[in-house]
């Protein structure tokens, strides 16, 4: 799978094609560090200077989507698991955070307003109570989705359920979760979700200064997750993950446990989605079933596909670009965006399976030669995993 | 006892709807391995076909009867177009067909919104199908549910016979079992693929006609149905119609029982858990074609 390695390297660190003498590991690390410094400078210095408060809070929202995309890039791009239900983990993180913030808003001993409205409950439901403590709620935003992913993943991967079966199951999980949330209106807020979140650990979210702080937290988290993903992709485990993607049986014959390898990537991706959901809540002030169902879950995937599923930065840039395009275009042509979104799916996946990231590499390699031949020779970065 | 039988019939009628919407998928996903997310939109196309025909033909009975073959052809033609334009390029990577056809489904939904408007529309059911039949023992059976059951049975019978007896059916089975060998034997595999897609998508259209008897027609109706239909095919097993039939009814009864004992939402989650548990026992679904493939 040299294509994959080459593609990812060209995009991640912009190393020249491997025909030239390969860069040593120290140079690699230097380039990666420089890339991170550049990314951090853009996120922390340039964006806050250039963008208005409104646009900055939009960017915060996009960056949350990008965090989910990093996880999908790991699980799908590297691991070959098309996880269509990332909305579930995003939602688990989001709801855990929102429950805590709701309880904090209401004050000790009080119940969130919607419960009195719809639930006619006399007291707080048992499963809400632990979320009053930030020491429970904060770890829960990550551990809860990881736990669910662990249970589902170990059940599914051990029995070698994969490919389309796994995609459909993960999607069904999203459908089931949304139906469950809507059905339990009294305790979950139903279709409305948990709305109108005012405070964030004592800070008023309406204050632009605090919104800016939330943005910085989100940007910092995204960078940390990228570093984690880069590490996982570059270390021995990353090699193994790609190997499992491209030839699961062969890896099994070599004495490894493919189920465990896949499980790690899936659980890490779930944790990233959970964290993204948790940070999405203070950035937007609401979490509802409409943000975590089948449709948003698939929309998480499209950004990854557009950017380049097998690369490190592709998913992030793709997710931000698609989310940004959505806002920009649906402001002007409300119906038109859906057509464009559909076309994006069709064109990118069918004709450019490596995403836009592969386009850069392909163009570079073919410079001067067959300038229009690249389209036909586009290869699927998934290798033979899909068959 | 009456309650039990009543619930059983509810389950069977849910199963019949599931079966009808999953039948086309059993062909395109089960036999060909193509994950067509636009299948739900083909169902929607069938439903809107009924609606359009009813604007022209006012007698509800006739319009429904005419809608069945027309919807089959309309949805089938859409399927062939999709196969020709996109899917045949993607046979080597089935997972990607999922994303591509999801894009197609987004476009079709918006198209429906632009043509018919976002609000749901309603068709009139023929007089014959609006009432109930009272069975001895105080059990009532809704006529429209009974009609859907009959339609599902007819579709299964037609498909089974078609696959077993007709030359096209034999070719389809040959291509499914060993594409290369079939091609070497002189079977035009590309044409067979297209015909398989025509029939599978056409069946979605028929399901759409049946669904107009149960509820409103809207641009997003397909999305809600498609996951259930896929689950039926997954649990039923690849390449086996009998698995699809058994699982559709089993899930229908499970859903109805769960709904009766708890709530609709809890029942849905129960069904999901049951499916994951079932896949622990039989990861390849209820019935599978035996192969020696390593994957």
Per-residue pLDDT reduced to its tens digit, A263-285? 999 999 999 999 999 999 999 98
The reported pLDDT for the residue numbered A364 is 65
Tell me how crowded residue B201 is: count the other CB atoms within 10 A of its CB. 32
Cα distance between residue A119 and residue A106, in whole Å: 16
Q: A160 contacts in B (CB within 8 Å)?
A: 283
User: What are the angstrom distances between the C-alpha of B275 and each of A55, A153, A379, B249?
Assistant: 44, 14, 35, 14
The reported pLDDT for the residue numbered B288 is 65
pLDDT averaged over 10-residue windows placed end to end, chain B, 295 residues:
79 90 87 86 94 87 90 96 90 85 92 90 81 76 88 93 91 85 90 92 94 89 85 82 90 89 84 85 72 49
The reported pLDDT for the residue numbered B6 is 79
Q: Which two tokens stand for residue B239?
A: 């390449």
Alpha helices in B166-283 (DSSP H): 167-177, 179-184, 189-211, 221-236, 241-261, 264-281
A56-75 in b/e form (b: 16+ CB < 10 A) is bbbbbbbbbbbbbbbbbbbb
Q: Please say if the pLDDT value at position A335 is more than 50.
A: yes
Q: A248 contacts in B (CB within 8 Å)?
A: 295
**For residue A366, what pLDDT band results from cuts at 50, 70 and 90?**
low
Mean confidence (pLDDT) of chain A:
83
Could you read off the pLDDT of A182-235 as tens digits, one per residue?
A: 888 888 888 888 888 888 887 888 888 888 899 999 999 999 999 999 999 999
Contact assessment for residue B20 and residue B208, using Cβ atoms and an 8 Å cutoff: no
Q: Please say if the pLDDT value at position A318 is more than 50.
A: yes
Own/partner contacts of B68-71, CB < 8 Å, gap of 24 or more, are B68/B206, B68/B209, B71/B45, B71/B46, B71/B47, B71/B202, B71/B205, B71/B206, B71/B208, B71/B209
The reported pLDDT for the residue numbered A3 is 42
Closest Cα of chain B to A237: distance in Å? 22
Residue of A nearest to B101 (CA): A346
The reported pLDDT for the residue numbered A23 is 52
Q: A168 contacts in B (CB within 8 Å)?
A: 35, 227, 230-231, 234
The strand pairing partners of A200, in sequence order, are: A203
Cα distance between residue B175 and residue B193, in whole Å: 8
The reported pLDDT for the residue numbered A221 is 95
User: What are the angstrom distances between the C-alpha of B273 and each of A220, B7, B8, B227, B285?
Assistant: 37, 21, 21, 15, 15
Q: CB–CB of A345 and B110 under 8 A?
A: no
Tell me how crowded residue B181 is: count the other CB atoms within 10 A of its CB. 11
ipTM of the complex: 0.85
Q: Which of A171, A301, A386 sits opposite B93 (nearest CB)?
A: A386
- Please check whether residue B1 touches A, CB under 8 A: no
The strand pairing partners of B32, in sequence order, are: none
Q: Which of B93, B99, B107 sits opposite A305 (nearest CB)?
A: B99
The reported pLDDT for the residue numbered A66 is 95
The reported pLDDT for the residue numbered A383 is 44
Q: Which two tokens stand for residue A139?
A: 């770890």
Cα distance between residue A303 and residue A314, in whole Å: 9
Q: Please say if the pLDDT value at position A376 is more than 50.
A: no
The reported pLDDT for the residue numbered B153 is 94
Of A30-39, A114-123, B169-178, the range with the lowest mean pLDDT is A114-123
Q: Please say if the pLDDT value at position A12 is more than 60.
A: no
Contact assessment for residue A32 and residue A230, using Cβ atoms and an 8 Å cutoff: yes
Q: CB–CB of B283 and A159 under 8 A?
A: yes
Closest Cα of chain B to A284: distance in Å? 26
Q: CB–CB of A382 and B86 under 8 A?
A: no
Q: CB–CB of B96 and A380 under 8 A?
A: yes
Helices (H) and strands (E) in chain A, counts: 17, 2
The strand pairing partners of B134, in sequence order, are: B140
With vertex at residue A170, the alpha carbon angle to CA A168 and CA A173, rounded to the nearest 5 degrees, is 110
Q: Which two tokens stand for residue A300?
A: 């998480």
Between positions 171 and 210 of A, the ones with CB within 8 A of B are 171-173, 175-176, 179-180, 182-184
The reported pLDDT for the residue numbered A25 is 64
Cα distance between residue A258 and residue A272, in whole Å: 21
Contact assessment for residue A114 and residue A295, using Cβ atoms and an 8 Å cutoff: no
Q: Considering chain A, what percentage of its residues have pLDDT values greater than 90?
A: 36
Q: CB–CB of B295 and A248 under 8 A?
A: yes
Residue of A nearest to B230 (CA): A168
End-to-end CA distance of chain A: 16
Q: Which residues contact A302 (CB under 8 A, 6 or more apart)?
A: A318, A322, A341, A344, A345, A348, B99
Residue given tokens 């299948």 in the structure block: B39
Identify the helix (H) or strand (E) that includes residue A200: strand A199-200
Output the CA torsion B202→B207→B213→B215 (10° steps). Answer: -110
Q: CB–CB of B99 and A349 under 8 A?
A: yes
Top mean-pLDDT range of A18-32, A50-64, A370-384: A50-64
- Please check whether residue B294 touches A, CB under 8 A: yes
With vertex at residue B143, the alpha carbon angle to CA B140 and CA B149, rounded to the nearest 5 degrees, is 105
Contact assessment for residue B232 and residue B39, using Cβ atoms and an 8 Å cutoff: no
**CA dihedral over A58, A59, A60, A65, signed as positive or negative:** positive
Contact assessment for residue B23 and residue B203, using Cβ atoms and an 8 Å cutoff: yes
Could you read off the pLDDT of A244-256 as tens digits, one per residue?
A: 999 888 999 999 9
Mean pLDDT within A86-107? 92
Residue of B nearest to A163 (CA): B95
Contact assessment for residue A153 and residue A262, using Cβ atoms and an 8 Å cutoff: yes
The reported pLDDT for the residue numbered A160 is 82
The reported pLDDT for the residue numbered B239 is 67
Q: B105: closest CA among B55, B37, B172, B151?
A: B37
Q: Considering chain A, what percentage of its residues have pLDDT values greater than 70?
A: 86
Cα distance between residue A302 and residue A339, in whole Å: 14
The reported pLDDT for the residue numbered A123 is 79
Mean pLDDT within A286-301? 90
The reported pLDDT for the residue numbered B42 is 95
């Amino acid at each position: 799978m040299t294509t994959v390695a080459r593609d990812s390297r060209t995009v991640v660190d912009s190393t020249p094609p491997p025909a030239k003498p390969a860069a040593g590991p120290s140079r690699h690390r230097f380039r990666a560090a420089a890339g991170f410094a550049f990314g951090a400078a853009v996120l922390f210095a340039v964006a806050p200077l250039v963008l208005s408060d409104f646009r900055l809070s939009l960017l915060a929202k996009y960056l949350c989507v990008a965090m989910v995309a990093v996880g999908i890039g790991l699980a799908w791009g590297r691991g070959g698991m098309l996880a269509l239900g990332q909305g579930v983990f995003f939602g688990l993180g989001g709801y855990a955070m929102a429950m805590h913030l709701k309880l904090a808003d209401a004050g000790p001993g009080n119940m969130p307003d919607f419960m009195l409205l719809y639930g006619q409950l006399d007291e707080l439901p048992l499963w809400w109570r632990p979320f009053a403590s930030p020491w429970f709620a904060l770890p829960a935003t990550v551990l809860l989705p990881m736990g669910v992913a662990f249970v589902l993943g170990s059940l599914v991967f051990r029995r070698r359920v994969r490919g389309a079966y796994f995609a459909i199951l993960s999607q069904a999980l999203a459908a089931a979760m949304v139906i469950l949330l809507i059905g339990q209106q009294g305790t979950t807020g139903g279709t409305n979700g948990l709305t109108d979140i005012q405070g964030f650990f004592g800070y008023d979210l309406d204050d632009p200064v605090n919104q800016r702080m939330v943005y910085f937290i989100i940007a910092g988290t995204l960078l940390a997750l990228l570093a984690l993903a880069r590490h996982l992709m570059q270390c021995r485990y990353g090699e193994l993950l790609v190997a499992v993607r491209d030839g699961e049986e062969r890896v099994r014959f070599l004495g490894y446990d493919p189920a465990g390898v896949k499980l790690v990537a899936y659980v890490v991706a779930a944790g990233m989605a959970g964290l993204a959901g948790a940070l999405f809540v203070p950035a937007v002030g609401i979490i509802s079933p409409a943000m975590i169902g089948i449709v948003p879950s698939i929309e998480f995937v499209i950004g990854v596909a557009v950017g380049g599923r097998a690369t490190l930065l592709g998913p992030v840039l793709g997710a931000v670009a698609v989310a940004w395009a959505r806002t920009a275009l649906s402001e002007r042509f409300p119906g038109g965006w859906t057509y464009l979104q559909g076309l994006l799916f069709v064109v990118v996946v069918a004709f450019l399976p490596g995403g836009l990231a592969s386009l850069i590499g392909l163009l570079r390699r073919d410079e001067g030669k067959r300038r229009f031949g690249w389209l036909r020779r586009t290869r699927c970065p998934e290798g033979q995993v899909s068959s | 006892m009456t309650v039990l039988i009543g619930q059983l019939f509810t389950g069977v009628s849910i199963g019949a709807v599931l079966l009808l919407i999953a039948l086309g998928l059993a062909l395109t996903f089960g036999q060909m391995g193509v994950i067509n997310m636009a299948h739900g939109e083909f169902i929607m196309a069938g439903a809107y076909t009924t609606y359009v025909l009813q604007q022209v033909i006012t007698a509800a009975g006739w319009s429904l009867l005419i809608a069945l073959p027309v919807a089959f052809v309309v949805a089938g033609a859409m399927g062939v177009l999709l196969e020709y334009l996109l899917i045949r390029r993607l046979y080597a990577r089935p997972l990607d067909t999922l994303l591509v056809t999801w894009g197609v489904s987004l476009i079709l939904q918006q198209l429906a919104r632009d043509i018919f408007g976002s609000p749901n529309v309603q068709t009139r059911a023929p007089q014959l199908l609006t009432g109930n039949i009272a069975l001895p023992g105080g059990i009532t059976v809704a006529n429209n549910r009974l009609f859907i059951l009959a339609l599902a049975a007819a579709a299964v019978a037609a498909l089974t016979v078609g696959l077993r007896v007709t030359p096209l059916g034999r070719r389809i089975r040959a291509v499914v079992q060993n594409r290369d060998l079939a091609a070497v034997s002189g079977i035009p595999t590309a044409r067979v693929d297209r015909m398989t897609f025509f029939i599978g998508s056409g069946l979605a259209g028929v399901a759409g006609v049946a669904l107009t008897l149960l509820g409103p027609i809207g641009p997003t109706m397909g999305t809600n149905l498609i996951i259930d239909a896929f689950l039926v095919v997954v649990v039923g097993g690849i390449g086996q119609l009998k698995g699809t039939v058994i699982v559709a009814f089993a899930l229908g009864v499970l859903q109805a029982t769960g709904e009766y004992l708890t709530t609709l939402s809890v029942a849905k989650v129960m069904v999901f858990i049951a499916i994951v548990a079932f896949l622990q026992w039989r990861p390849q679904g209820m019935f599978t074609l035996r192969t020696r493939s390593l994957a």
